[in-house]
Structure 1
């Protein structure tokens, strides 16, 4: 079994202090034995013995002090500094972990929630609002002819369009709604506690607001429109079936001529 340096130093200190204790005990024993005897006969012997024992005890004390100052204290100091560095590193790693977790759930281009977050949030919203028998609405949005924007004006302009659409969605939704970019030019909004009529009105306001966005970058001036599929959870279907139903309504809106809401 191997001991740590601090443990070894501690054992050495105990040995030195134990030596001091033994010397003091022997001095006391010698005094108790020799004191009844005639002082004239044994005074010199007693004095010499006590002096030798005191010298040895002093030596052990000096050695113990040396061990404490030059062996144990530096180790304690080093371990304290090392502990502080470990705590600092743990805080940095914790912050980095939170940052990575946030990045894993956020769309880097628009700053919205991403598909991974959307899937988990939709499942959770259905579970929680199902318990209190409240409706959950879902909108799936897809920008119309967005490929032509990238092909004609480039991806820089296309990215600017996506950011503007994201800003518009955030402006028209509530703080507790889930607004996510699912990928490409497709977005989604989970709107709890809204019935079909209210959700349809909200979707149409969003559609009109997006159609009024003016994008101007260099010589590029363009507008975009969006098609929206709207569904309200029937409280029986799973989250994937609910999503697929809203997605089918989106494609129905596309097939009906785009720039419209299909409920």
Structure 2
């Protein structure tokens, strides 16, 4: 298990404080016992060591731990402001031009614009961005067997699943047909995988009724984390390649680059 630098400094501080407390106790014990060794007051020696350790604890806190905490808080503030700014800008776009009429989600045009903005914005603060491409399995068979009205209802319910599980600053869009996408900033590969797999499970649990028939649907997903230098199109191609791999492995699964 690897510790963060701040955790190591914290353990160092706790060690110094502990040693300082031990020497303070020894100084107190020596003073109350009147111990003298070689003509030197033992209590004074212990008190001096306690003072040195206290000073080292202050230095450790001020020059090692506090800068890390301060930097982390500033980065969190910048990230929050960036997210709020991007959210406000997204709300100012023409709603009809960037919204999918069937599901009420963002469309491909909005997704492409948001992808460009997110790569530029989060690239400046060196934060990761994840992309998930999701595609309904055997959707053509649903349209062919049950009609497009039922297919539309399937798309709407799947879209609801994506909206429920994603965060407010994630960009969730219907790219076209039965393909959806999630653009998720400040997320690790494991977190993106867990998010996508929860969506996959939720979709598999949907019950879409068509008269006396209950339909079950599944979704496959491909994931990729931005490497910090590739274009939006390159990031999309990597995620799409993993989607193809999920389909190849049997569908109803999540694959990551």
Structure 1 residue 99, shift from structure 2 partner: 11
Q: Structure 1: how far apart are the matches of 2:218 and 2:253? A: 9
Matched, 1:111 2:104: yes
1:145 aligns with 2:138: yes
CA contact (8 A) 1:153 1:220 kept: no
SS at match of 1:101: coil
> Which whole-Å deviations, capped at 9, do the CAs of 1:140-181 have from their partners, x for residues lacking one?
000000000000000010000000000010000001100000
* 2:233 pairs with 1:240: yes
TM alignment of 1:240-259, pairs within 5 A: 240-259=233-252
5+ long unaligned stretches in structure 2: 1-90
Structure number with bigger Rg: 1
Cα-Cα RMSD: 1.5
Q: What is the TM-score with the length of structure 1 in the denominator?
A: 0.62
1:206 corresponds in structure 2 to 199
Offset at residue 104 of structure 1 (A): 1.1
1:29-178 to structure 2, matched below 5 A, reads: 101-178=94-171
CA-CA distance at 1:220 after TM superposition: 2.9
What 5-or-longer segments of structure 1 have no aligned partner? Answer: 1-97
Q: What's the TM-score once normalised by structure 2's chain length?
A: 0.63
Separation of aligned partners in 2, 1:122 and 1:99: 17
Cα distance in 1 for residues equivalent to 2:227 and 2:207: 37
Tell me: CA distance 1:243–1:100, structure 2 relative to 1, closer, same or farther (3 Å).
closer
Please report how far the alpha carbon of residue 217 of structure 1 lies from its aligned counterpart in structure 2 after TM superposition: 2.7
Other structure's SS at 2:152 match: helix
Partner of 1:78: none
Structure 1 CA distance for aligned equivalents of residues 213 and 108 of structure 2: 30
Query: Distance between the aligned counterparts of 1:100 and 1:125, measured in 2?
Result: 16
Separation in 2, partners of 1:188, 1:158: 18
The residue aligned with 1:183 is: 176
Number of corresponding residues: 166
Instruction: Determine the structure 1 residue equivalent to 2:214.
Output: 221
Question: Given that residues 180 and 188 in structure 1 are in contact (C-alpha distance below 8 angstroms), is that contact kept between their aligned partners in structure 2?
Answer: yes
CA distance in 2, matches of 1:152, 1:244: 31
2-side partners of 1:100 and 1:203: how far apart?
27
Structure 1 segments of 4+ aligned residues over 4 angstroms from their partners:
none
Q: What does the per-residue CA deviation read over 1:169-197, in whole Å, with 9 as the maximum and x for residues that have no partner?
A: 00000011000000000000001100111
Q: Residue 175 of structure 1 aligns to a residue in which SS?
A: coil
